[in-house]
Amino acid sequence: MTTDLAIDLNRKQLTVALAGNPNSGKTTLFNALTGSRQKVGNYPGVTVEKRTGGFRLGQTRVEVVDLPGTYSLSSFSPEERIAQDEVLTGRFDVVVVVVDSTALKRSLVLLAQIMQTGANPVLCLNMSDEADQAGQVIDQELMQELLGFPVVRTVGHRGVGVDELRRAIATAAMHPVAQQRLVLGGRLEAAIGAIREHLEGACDNPAGFNWVATRLLLNDATFVSWVKQRCAASDEALRLAEQWRRRIERETRQDMQIFLTERYFGFVDGLLREVVRQRPRADARAFSDSLDRILVHRYFGLPLFFAVVYGIFWVTFTVGEIPMDWIERGFNALGAWISGLWPAGVDSPLQSLIVDGVIAGVGGVLVFLPNILLLFFGLAFLEDTGYMSRAAFLMDRIMHRFGLHGKSFVPMMTGFGCSIPGIMATRTLENERDRLTTMLVLPLMSCGARLPIWMLLIPAFFPPVWRAPMLFFIYGFGIVLALLLALLLRKSILRGEEAPFVMELPPYRFPTLRAMITTMLERGWLYMRKAGTVILGVSILLWCLTAYPKKSHYDVDAQVAAGAVQMSPEQLRNARAAEDLRNSVAGRVGGLMEPLIRPLGFDWKMGTAMIGAFAAKEVFVSQIGIVYAIGEADEESQDLRDQLAANYSPLTGLSLMLFLLIATPCMATIAVTRRESGSWRWALLQLGGLTGIAYLISLTVYQVGSLWIH
C-alpha cells in the first residue's frame, strides 16, 4: 500500500473529518490513513478524546480529524454534540462517513444527517469483506450516482481500499457536491425549505441551514439559542418552525421526532432498495449468535467474564513484573553509579537531587509502564473482538444501581493493580458523566502500591486470627465506599439524565495485531508524556520538602559524645536521618498537622510519613521507617512493626488504614486524572474530596471506638 499518491490538488493543506457509528471500524481506518503520524488529546472542557493525524496527497498535506463515534448528530451526549459542532464549523474540506457494510440501514442515518449540514461527503463502505461473505451485493456505481458523491469500499484492518479512499478524498476536494440528493418527503422538505429561506435572509452564517431548520422543527434548545443570538428577527423564524411542527404533527398524528426518524429511515430504505442487488443471508451473524449463547449466558456469562478479566490482570501484573523488575534494577544501578561519582561519606545536595529526586521520580513513572502497555493491549483485544460490549451488558444491571455504566467494571477492577492504568481505561466509556464518575471514585480500589502498607500495619496491630479478615475488610470497604460515592455523585454534581443502556453487540471479529499495538503504544506515550512531566516535577518538590533544611548539629551526636547512648555507624546514620526528616519542611508541616490529625489518633510522625506517601503510597513504609530510625525498612521489617505496636493502639492502626485507603491519591493518580478529565477542577475535587471523606471516616472510627473501649 502506498502512502503518497500522484495527485496534484494545487493547494498546501486539506482538512478531512472521519465520522461514523461506534464499531464501524472508523478508528482502524484512521490508523490506516495516518499511520504513526497521530496526536491524541481531549476536546476542550470535556473528556471526549480528540485524535488527529495526517498523510500526503502529492504536495498537499492532508490533516485528518477522527470525530467521536456517534449514531446521530443530535445533542444528547458529549460525543454527539462534538461531532455536530465540528461538522457545522464548515472547516472540513471533506467529511468521510464511515459505515459498517453489514449494518447499512442503521449506519446510513448518520450519512443523511451529515448531508443536511451542507458538508462535502465521501461514503466509505467499510468491512465490505464481511458483507461479501454474508452474501450482500451492492451496486457501488449506482449508489454513487444516486448520492452524487464518491462511494468507496474498504477493509480497514487489512488496508484494502485505503488508497482508493485517498483518491476519493482528492476527488471530493476538487469537485465538491453542488447539490444534495437527500430525499425526505414533500411535507418535511417544504417545512425545511420555508424555514431555511427565512434563515438565509436573517442569519450571518449560511452553512448548514437545512440542519438548523430541522433542529428548529424539533425545538432543539441549542439551535433555538443559536438563532436568537445570530439571526435578525429570530422570533419570526421560531414562530415559523412552531407553525410547521404543529401542522406536521396534526396532519400525521405523530410526534415530530418520530416523524423525522421515519423520514431518515425512509430515505435509507429507498436508497438500499435501489442499490442492493442481493440481500445478506439471514445467518450472517450465526457465528456471533452461537458464541453469545455461551458468553452472555444468564448463569455462565459472568463467571466466564471474571475469568477473562482475571487472565488479563494476571498477564498485566504477573508477566509485567518481569520488565518492572528490570526497570527498577536499572534505575537502582544508575543511582548507585551516579552516587559513586562522589567520595564515600560526602553529603552532596546535587547527588541527592539527582539520585533521590530526578532518578527516583523518573523511575517511579517508568516502573508502571509495562503494566500500562500490557493492560491496554488486553483491553484493545477485548474491544476489537467485540467482547467488551458483552462485558458491559453483563455487568450493567449491577453497576447501574449505583449510577455507573457496565463498562465501568473493567477500569475499577484494574484499579486494584494500579489506579493509573485504571483511570486511563475509563476511555472505553462513551459517556462523559460515566467517565468522570468512574475516574473520581476509582482510587478507592486498594491498589498494589497500598499492599506493602497493609502488610506492615496489619501484622503490627492485629493478631494472626484477624489478619486475613482485616485484609478482606479493607478491600471490601473501598469497593462499597466507591459504589456509594458514585451514587452520590450521580445524584449531585454529575446528575443528569442517565443514558439508556442500549448497547450494540457487534459481530465477533479477530483483531489485527497492528491495531492493538497502536492502541497500546498510544496509551503508553500519553502516560509518559503528560503524567510523567507532572510526576517528575512533584517528585523533585517532595524531595526538597523532605531533604531541607538540614540540621548542622545532631542531638544524637551529643548523646553519643556524652556516653548516654551507644550506636553502630549504621544506627547513627539512621538516627541522623530521622532528625533531618523531623527538621525538614515536611517534618515541620507534619508537626503543624498534629493538632489537626490528633483526633484521628495520629501524631506528627504519621503526618510526616503521609506527606512523603503522596509521591507513591508505598513510600509511607520507608518514611515511617526513617522517622523511627529503622533505616531501610520495608513491609516485612519486624523492628518497625514492634515500634508501631508499642506506640499506637489497634484502633489507631484501623483509623490509619482507612485514612490511607481513602485519602490523598498519589501524585501520579492526580496527574492522570487531570490529563484524562481535561481539567484541574476534577483532579483537585478528587484530591480534596477523598481526603475530606477520609478525615470524617477516620475521625468517626477513632472517636466512637475510643468511647467504646473506655
Quick check: is 596 in a domain? yes
Specify the amino acid at residue 357.
Answer: G
If asked whether residues 229 and 153 sit together in one domain, one would say: no
Q: Are 621 and 633 in contact (CB under 8 A)?
A: yes
Mean pLDDT over all residues of the chain? Answer: 80
Contact 443, 614 (CB under 8 A): no
Domain total of the chain: 3
Quick one: 555 and 688 in the same domain?
A: yes
**C-alpha triplet 689, 77, 183: angle, nearest 5°:** 175
487-503 pLDDT, tens digit per residue, is: 999 888 887 655 555 55
Pairing of the two strands 94-100 and 121-126? parallel
Q: Which three cell numbers stand for residue 403?
A: 449510577
Q: Out of 234, 253, 272, pick the residue that ends a domain.
A: 253
**327 falls within a domain:** no
Instruction: Report which of 558, 552, 557 is spatially closest to residue 580, judged by C-alpha positions.
Output: 552
| Residue 175 pLDDT exceeds 90 | no
38-47, 88-97, 253-262, range with the lowest pLDDT: 38-47
3-state secondary structure at position 344: coil
Report yes or no on 358 lying in a domain: no
Q: What per-residue confidence (pLDDT) applies to 610?
A: 83
Amino acid letter, residue 398 = I
More confident: 639 or 71: 71
CA-CA distance, 613 to 618, in Å (whole number)?
7
Q: Over pLDDT 70: what percentage of the chain?
A: 84
Total-model pTM: 0.63
Residues 212 and 237 in one domain: yes
Q: Are residues 55 and 190 in the same domain?
A: no
Mean pLDDT confidence for 170-176: 87
Residue 197 near residue 169 (C-beta atoms within 8 A): no
> Dihedrals φ, ψ of 138, to 5°?
-120, 135
User: Which pLDDT score, from 0 to 100, does residue 482 have?
Assistant: 93
> pLDDT value at position 2?
43
DSSP result, 78-118 = HHHHHHHHHHHT---SEEEEEEEGGGHHHHHHHHHHHHHTT
Domain containing residue 192? 186-253
Q: Which of 253, 288, 309 lies at the terminal end of a domain, its last residue?
A: 253
- Cβ contact 107:21 at 8 Å: yes
pLDDT at 152: 95
pLDDT at residue 95 in the model: 93
Q: Which CATH number characterizes residue 111's domain? A: 3.40.50.300
Residue 20 bridge partners (DSSP): 98
- pLDDT computed for residue 634 by the predictor: 47
At residue 304, the pLDDT reads 85
Segment among 24-28, 250-254, 308-312 with least mean pLDDT: 308-312
- At 580-598, the pLDDT tens digits run 777 888 778 878 888 999 9
Task: Over range 638-664, report the average pLDDT.
Answer: 87
**Is the domain of 542 the same as that of 652?**
yes
* pLDDT at residue 512 tops 80: no
What is the arithmetic mean of pLDDT over 528-534?
Answer: 59
User: 637 and 615, same structural domain?
Assistant: yes
Query: In the prediction, which pLDDT does 665 show?
Result: 83
Least confident interval from 560-574, 593-607, 647-661, 662-676: 560-574
**192 in the same domain as 157:** no
In a domain? residue 699: yes
H or E segment to which residue 151 belongs: strand 151-153
Three-state DSSP class for residue 66: strand
Question: Do residues 294 and 304 touch, judged by C-beta distance below 8 A?
Answer: yes
Residues 69 and 204 in one domain: no
pLDDT value for 568: 77
578/704 same-domain check: yes
Task: Tell me the torsion sign for CA atoms 19, 21, 24, 27.
Answer: positive
- Residue scoring higher pLDDT (286 or 474): 474
Same domain, 548 and 602: yes
Q: Average pLDDT of 354-365?
A: 68
Helices within 135-220 (DSSP H only): 140-147, 162-174, 186-202, 209-217
Residue 409 lies in a domain: no
CA distance 337 to 350: 14
Which of 205, 226, 253 is the endpoint of a domain? 253
Do 160 and 213 have their domain in common? no
Inform me whether the pLDDT recorded for 608 exceeds 50: yes
